[in-house]
Amino acid sequence: MCCKSAKKKEGESQLVKNKDQMDGFVQKQIKTLLTQAHDNKLDDTTRLPFLPVTATFYNSNNFEPVWSSTEQWKKGTLSFLHYLDTCIYDGLFKEDYQYTLLKKYYSTLQANPEQRRDAVLWAKADCLFSNSFFHVLQDIRQGRLQKDSAGLQYDSTKQKDFFIPALHSFLQDNSLNPLLAQWQPKHKDYILLKRNLHAFADSMDLHEYTYLPYPSKDSSAFVKLLKKRMAESGVSLQQTHPDSVQLRLMIAQCQQKLGMKADGKLSSAFIKKLNENDHEKLIRIAINLDRYKYLPATLPEKYIWVNIPSYQLQLMSNDSVKLVSKVIVGKPGTPTPELTGKINNLVTYPTWTVPVSIIKKDLLPGLKRNPGYLAKKGLALYTYAGEPVDPYTIEWNKYNKGIPFKVQQGSGDANALGVIKFNFNNPYDVYLHDTNQRYLFKRSDRSLSHGCVRVESWKELAFYIARNDSMQYQKNDTLRYTTDSISNWINRKEMHKIYIKNGFPVYIRYFTCMPNDKKIVFFDDIYNNDKALRNHFFTKK
């Protein structure tokens, strides 16, 4: 029976004398709590971010408790807590799932005889454990790099077919890792990155340094954070100097410790160096693990993989690397977009139609100064129908946002696209191509283009695609070209459009760390994508 005299406000506590009756009271309290829950809160102080799917689950389960029975935790409860304690090996952060609060409920209800009789505590704990379990499931399967409203938990089909069966399966088998493994990417590099994360997390410097958001709108608040961060690196305050002098001296001292030029000047490079520590690297690894979750579940047998931050192209066949090439990608102001496509044709000795953005930014100001500007650049003016236009006949000063003409560079060795162009349909008008500035491949920083991807090993790539395409032809098909044909056209400097019978898949992606043997290699966050994601989704880490 319930001890009525011990009952306080509704939902605050409910002490039960007979433990054999506890589950029935917990069941009623779960129903009450979830009926009154709102705004993703179980009550005024308890977050329940996965309220929709949690409520659906208990409604389908007649509100019965699933993590405890007759004042005893079920075996799976401790297994789940143990997983949360080590979930960093999956790139997850345990406090996202209210680990400390769950552990407090577990310990309190395990050790305190008085509170163990409280049906409300058991009900809250049950709801919280289920909520955290669903949260882990979503982050494992979908990642965290999307708006909350796009979460799987709001999909009624996923609630029914994914979340609820998964929890029942876990509580029946008490085995979480095999269950989670089936929902994680099968990409080889994802598996290797996770393996290397395990070693990284076990050996990392656990000190959490102050993170510096830069640039900052609040300069005074930023200076306070900066001084705090430099003090964490052992840089002492110089109280005998005015504030501005003191700050410069501290920066110079810190720069020297970091192996930088000690000029005392605040710069993005200095802040970036201060933000480089094991904790921040851990967040970057977590971000990159999530990026794999946005790839297709399976990739084609053969495909081209371009990773923007590493300035590298890989030609893949059956999980084996057949070709590695340096690439040049877009500048931060004109970034190469992440996209998926299929190369449907190659063009030898192509012409180059100058993008509208370049015309507006670079060419139009030059034409206003001198109508002969295009000729000096080796460019020509045409109508959209292809008719030549004399730039001296146009009143250029009346145009500001663009021009009603196209600008084109003829084919040849001086052409910006070089010897060959790889076309594939995409909304950004981006393609792969050779370049007439091949010396730029010697640079380590190769974010230099207007958005397209320049390929150093263009010849090997073209020949592989051609050979692969020829193998796809049927008995009665007419083979329009061979690798010898391409070589001859290039030698004769002839423009030819070569149609690919079966489009060759290409993936352009942005991964700032990759597994390499037993280590993790980090690349510069050239477009500040990691920084934006870190500031938006990982601010409390």
Lookup: tokens for 438: 């091949």
Considering only CA atoms, which of 105, 107, 8 is closest in space to residue 65? 105
Tell me the CA distances in angstroms from 159 to 126, 142, 156, 198, 324, one per residue in order. Answer: 18, 14, 5, 31, 43
> What pLDDT score does 5 carry?
36
SS3 content of the chain, % helix, strand, coil (to 5): 45, 15, 40
> What pLDDT score does 240 carry?
62
**Residue 281: exposure state from Cβ atoms within 10 A (0-12, 13-18, ≥19):** middle
> What pLDDT score does 392 carry?
95
CA distance 178 to 145: 24
Give the model confidence (pLDDT) of 279-329 as tens digits. 999 999 999 999 999 999 999 999 999 999 999 999 999 999 999 999 999
Strands 496-509 and 339-348, how do they pair? antiparallel
Domains annotated on the chain, with CATH: 4-184 (no CATH), 210-276 (no CATH), 301-350+418-510 (2.40.440.10), 352-409 (no CATH)
Give the model confidence (pLDDT) of 333-379 as tens digits. 999 999 999 999 999 999 999 988 889 988 999 999 999 999 999 99
Give the model confidence (pLDDT) of 444-497 as tens digits. 999 999 999 999 999 999 999 999 888 777 666 665 678 888 999 999 999 999
> What pLDDT score does 479 carry?
59
> What pLDDT score does 453 carry?
98
| Reported pTM | 0.87
CA distance 505 to 397: 44
Q: Which residues of the chain have pLDDT under 50?
A: 1-10
